[in-house]
Amino acid sequence: MIAQSDFIFLNLPLKGYKKDEDIRYALSENELHLEVRDRSAPNKVRRLCQTLNKQIDVAQSEIMLLVDFVSVKLAKLERG
């Protein structure tokens, strides 16, 4: 995990997944939910459900599905 002034980055190594078939995700103001089908074991799904300590700006946050990992970019919510 990398924290900067406006963003928090989380990279998850996931070798061998197919981004069109094996992954589902959801992001809300205070929760990250990720499900990935495990190709090494039949009918097995790995889940990550994380309640965040502080709210995030969902519109500026993003989840990028890359070749061998998933990159999560969370935008900190500006209080004003």
Query: How high is the pLDDT of residue 47?
Result: 93
Q: What is the pLDDT of residues 61-79, one digit of tens each?
A: 999 999 889 999 999 987 7
Q: DSSP secondary-structure letter at 52?
A: -
The residue segments making up the domain with residue 68 are 2-76
Q: d(Cα 27, Cα 33) in Å, to the nearest integer?
A: 6
Longest dimension (CA), the chain: 49
pTM of the shown model: 0.82
Tokens of 16: 């061998």
Supply the CATH number for residue 65's domain: 2.60.40.790
- Domains: count for the chain: 1
Which pLDDT band holds residue 51 (cuts at 50, 70, 90)? very high
Give the list of residues 6+ apart from residue 80 with CB closer than 8 angstroms, or none.
none
What is the Cα 68 distance to its own chain's centre? 14
Contact between residue 2 and residue 8 where contact means Cβ atoms under 8 Å apart: yes
